[in-house]
Amino acid sequence: MAAVIEIENLRKTYFSLLHGKRVALNGFDMEVAAGQVHGFLGPNGSGKTTTLRTLLGLARADSGRMSLFGQPVPEALPAVVGRLGAIVESPQFFRNFTGRRTLALLARAGGVPDARVDQVLELVGMRDRGNEKVKTYSLGMKQRLAVASALLKSPELLILDEPANGLDPAGIREMRDLVRGLAAAGATVLVSSHLLDEIEQICDSVTIISRGRRVAAGPVADVLASQDKGEHLVRVRDDDRDRAGELLRAAGLTVATRDDRLVVGGVDDAARISELLGTGGVWLSELSPLTPDLESVFLTITGTTPEAGSYRPVDESRDEPWPALTTPTATTGPAAPAAANEELSQ
């Protein structure tokens, strides 16, 4: 599938008289295929917004190559801007304009028919509030208005930076449905978010950035699989727990206790656990595969797993590429460094 977004070796440094030099992007790469919903993840200050701002011509890169729809940007931005919609960093609007006027001004200047204003207000659930002033809107409503502005051009590529910021649970679900609907209609969507369960639900692929470098990328299933160690959760009667542990360890499996369950590793087939326990006279109450979620994978890959009693500085994260996940086409199973796997199991 053709790549809609391509970023290669992007570097960006900020200079400040007070704080000196700060490297925001340190050779960052990203590729987003057409028709995909692509998640863009990273800890605070890792360079997500800088990447989007640089891609959209709001910031100048020091070096590197970027393209949208196969055309180099920022040079070709005027040619491709009509095909993309974007919100970056919760855009603000004039407080004394109504939502409808705000959108109408953008639409008129962009050659978009006025009728489209009502369509996008409907899409983001703001039809009945469009004639009210922006200053009366809640944070979530402003965010909906921002998304509406990004949708005005019926874009082929939609770039959303924290689109769920300030949305209530219903709004988050609506946003999810909206993104899915756009993708189903053939649009490509790049979503930057910290709501990892949302990303896991709606995205086909992800890129994870940490300290300005890509540390992982690929289909969501592959990223999750990279941290799958074949562990299973086992629950038996409380009286049988010790006996079950002995039986499983005797068969060469790793066993750890988590609350009232056993975490069993080193087994590919769950039937083997059932067989071992049944043969030893212990009956299963529950047996389920322990698959990592995107949150735990993210924390492991970026090295930002919270530790009890300590506070991680905001800029402190792991920036070593995860070997099996540094190309979008990675599909193989676990290949992470042993140290990182240990980190995940903690």
Partner 1 sequence: MRLLRTELSRFFARRFIRVLLIFIVLIMGAVVAGVAGSSSPVTEEQYAAAQEAAQRDYELNKQMMDQAYQDCVTDVTSPSPSGNWGEGLEACAAILEKARYISPNDPSGYLPDQFHLRHELDTWIYLAALILCLFGFIVGASFVGAEWTSGGMTNLALWYPRRLRLLAMKLTAAVLGIGAIGVAYLGVWVGSLALVAQARGVVDGATPGFWQSSLLLCARVLALTLACAVIGFALASLGRHTASALGIGIGYALVAELGTLLVFSVLNATFPERFRLSTYIAAWLTKRVELYDYNLCLMDAVDCGNQRYIIDLTTSAVVLGGIVAIIAALAFAAFRRRDIA
Q: Residue 70 interacts with partner 1 (CB under 8 A)?
A: no
8 A C-beta contact, residue 117 and residue 152 = yes
Cβ neighbours of residue 342 closer than 8 Å, sequence gap 6 or more: none
Q: Residue 74 interacts with partner 1 (CB under 8 A)?
A: yes
Rounded Cα distance, 217 and 207, in Å = 4
How near is the Cβ of 91 to partner 1 at its closest, in Å? Answer: 5
Q: Tell which positions 159-218 bind partner 1, by CB under 8 A.
A: none
**Binding flags for partner 1, 109-148, as an x/- string (CB under 8 A):** xxx-------------------------------------
The CA-atom distances, in angstroms, between 229 and each of 24, 225, 293, 342 are 33, 8, 12, 11
How near is the Cβ of 95 to partner 1 at its closest, in Å? Answer: 8
Query: Looking at 35-43, 86-94, 281-289, 300-308, which segment touches partner 1 (CB under 8 A)?
Result: 86-94
Q: Of the two residues 35 and 57, which places its CB atom closer to partner 1 in the complex?
A: 57
Query: Looking at 54-62, 118-126, 165-173, 178-186, which segment touches partner 1 (CB under 8 A)?
Result: 54-62
The CA-atom distances, in angstroms, between 112 and each of 98, 101, 159, 224 are 18, 14, 19, 41
Q: Could you say which of 11, 83, 101, 272 contacts partner 1 (CB under 8 A)?
A: 101
- Strand, coil or helix: 14: strand
Q: Residue 60 interacts with partner 1 (CB under 8 A)?
A: yes
Pairing label, strands 261-265, 254-258: antiparallel
Rounded Cα distance, 258 and 101, in Å = 56
8 A C-beta contact, residue 25 and residue 58 = no
Q: Of the two residues 94 and 283, which places its CB atom closer to partner 1 in the complex?
A: 94
Rounded Cα distance, 301 and 305, in Å = 9
How near is the Cβ of 265 to partner 1 at its closest, in Å? Answer: 48
Q: Of the two residues 57 and 323, which places its CB atom closer to partner 1 in the complex?
A: 57
Compute how many residues bind partner 1; rule: CB under 8 A.
29
Q: Residue 92 interacts with partner 1 (CB under 8 A)?
A: yes
Q: Could you say which of 28, 40, 69, 93 contacts partner 1 (CB under 8 A)?
A: 93
How near is the Cβ of 127 to partner 1 at its closest, in Å? Answer: 21
Rounded Cα distance, 197 and 217, in Å = 17
**Binding flags for partner 1, 260-299, as an x/- string (CB under 8 A):** ----------------------------------------
- Name the strand (E) or helix (H) holding 197: helix 196-202
Q: What is the DSSP string of 227-245?
A: T---EEEEEE-GGGHHHHH
Q: Kindly state the tokens that stand for 1.
A: 């599938």
CB atoms near residue 281 (< 10 Å):
9
Q: Residue 53 interacts with partner 1 (CB under 8 A)?
A: yes
Q: Could you say which of 77, 123, 263, 344 contacts partner 1 (CB under 8 A)?
A: 77
Q: Could you say which of 4, 56, 209, 276 contacts partner 1 (CB under 8 A)?
A: 56
What does the DSSP 8-state code read for residue 33? Answer: E
8 A C-beta contact, residue 222 and residue 301 = no
Chain positions contacting partner 1, by CB under 8 A: 53, 56-60, 74, 77-78, 81, 86, 88-97, 101, 105-106, 108-111, 149
